[in-house]
Amino acid sequence: MTRDHSRIQKICRILKARYPDVKTQLNHQNAFQLLVATILSAQCTDRQVNSVTPALFATLQTPEDFSRAPIETIEALIHSTGFFHNKTKNIQNCARALISQFGGKVPDTIDELVKLPGVGRKTANVVLGAVFGIPGMVVDTHVARISKRLGLTDSTDPVKIEKDLMVVIKKSEWNDFSLWLIYFGRAVCNARKPDCPNCFLNHLCPYPDKKS
């Protein structure tokens, strides 16, 4: 790893200047909707999730609605997001757990959130940051890939990556940093063909397989 703090600060300043106004790309109107949308986003693009959730949330609004809905109804509404059998099971069980354990309200701590079916640390941190303004480091495929390329971690384990990033990134920037890398990963540093020659972080990137 290349954890030079001056270099990391420069990376953050450049990313902040390039992406000054970042927020989750999953459309939502409340914490529960974002929780459901984030569960749906596993192995699926935000754009595809956003194409599904308007009809989904027009049909089912509350944890009670989801808990009582026929499985076939939910599956039909979320089918195009992929893995719809497991996602339906997770969402319905999550809704039931919210009712039984939290009075139907989405909790605002990571320890409580990760106890919900289908909710891992990534999903929990998305909700905490976007809805409650609580600092958290979201590690999705973009964040995992780019943080390793930038030498901020040498791990492939999301929990270890999260911990590594929390050490080198200021807590006040945790939420934004995750989103900066997501935006950057979609636009420049993609998985198969990173645009290294035109990358504004090229001079700060130790990635050994940079494209010339």
- pLDDT tens readout for residues 128-157: 999 999 999 999 999 999 999 999 999 999
Print the domain residue range for 103: 31-132
- Residue 66 domain-assigned? yes
**Would you say residue 125 has pLDDT above 60?**
yes
- Residue 103 domain-assigned? yes
- Residue 209 domain-assigned? no
Statement to judge: residues 160 and 190 lie in one domain: yes
- Residue 183 domain-assigned? yes
Residue 1 confidence class, pLDDT cut points 50, 70, 90: low
CATH code for position 146 = 1.10.1670.10
Query: Is residue 4 flagged as an active site residue?
Result: no
Tokens (6 digits) for 133: 């303004």
Statement to judge: residues 123 and 186 lie in one domain: no
Query: Is residue 21 flagged as an active site residue?
Result: no
Residue 57: CB atoms within 10 A of its CB come to: 20
Domain boundary among 100, 132, 164: 132
Of the two residues 102 and 208, the one the predictor is more confident about is 102
Which residue is catalytic, options 4, 10, 87, 122? 122
Statement to judge: residues 128 and 156 lie in one domain: no
Which residue is catalytic, options 87, 140, 164, 176? 140
Q: What DSSP line would sit under 122-172, residue for residue?
A: HHHHHHHHHHH--------HHHHHHHHHTTS-----HHHHHHHHHHHS-GG
Residue 39 confidence class, pLDDT cut points 50, 70, 90: very high
Residue 4 confidence class, pLDDT cut points 50, 70, 90: confident
